[in-house]
Each structure stands twice: as C-alpha cells, then as structure tokens.
Amino acid sequence: MNDCLFCKIVNGEIPSEFIFENDDCVAFKDIHPKASTHILIVPKKHISSIADVSYEDAPLLGKLLNYAREIGEKLSLSGYRLSINVGKDGGQEIFHLHIHLMSNS
C-alpha cells in the first residue's frame, strides 16, 4: 500500500527504532502511548484490519501472538494487555493490522 503509514515504517521509508524485528513483523513504541509501555506489533504483510484476514493468515496471526509473548519477556514485563482495534468505530486509526501490547509494569 503506497499511502499506508505502517507499510512505510516496515519498508524503512519512515525512520523508526524497532525493538523487535523478524521476517514476519516489526515492533516499535507507540508515539501516543496509553500505558507506561505501549508497543505496536505490525506484520510486514499488509492486511488492512482483522476484518480482512483470511484462513490463510491464521499462521501469521498465531505467530504474532507468540511474538507478543517474546516481546513481553524481553522487556521483563510482569503482565501486559494485548489489543486489536477493528475498524473506525472500534478505534482503529491506521488501517494496517497491528497489535497493541500495553503494560504499566
């Protein structure tokens, strides 16, 4: 997607400091944090929303949850919350699927 903010971040067109990266995703701090720790986990594959996933995306979604666990461990968080906003009415602002990892620890 040419105009997708997260695609530009994934592709290095917009500088960002990744706290985690592999072949499937990148993770970086949210610029408008809602908790002491607020990380966005963004798949490299452009999927607009969870409403647009297919069964073929199931392995990627499972991996994203495991990456969230790895990031929580890497940051030594005692607990955290995962959130996926779906659609404008669900609070989604950037239409590229992403997981919010938030913690106050």
Instruction: Please tell me the distance from the alpha carbon of residue 73 to that of residue 75, in angstroms, as a whole number.
Output: 5
Residue 98 annotated as catalytic: yes
Q: How many of the other CB atoms lie within 10 Å of CB of 21?
A: 13
- Given 32, 38, 98, 100, which residue is catalytic? 98
Q: Tokens at residue 3, please?
A: 């105009």
How far is the C-alpha of 84 from the C-alpha of 91, rounded, in Å? 9
Beta bridge partners of 38: 102
Residues known to be catalytic? 98
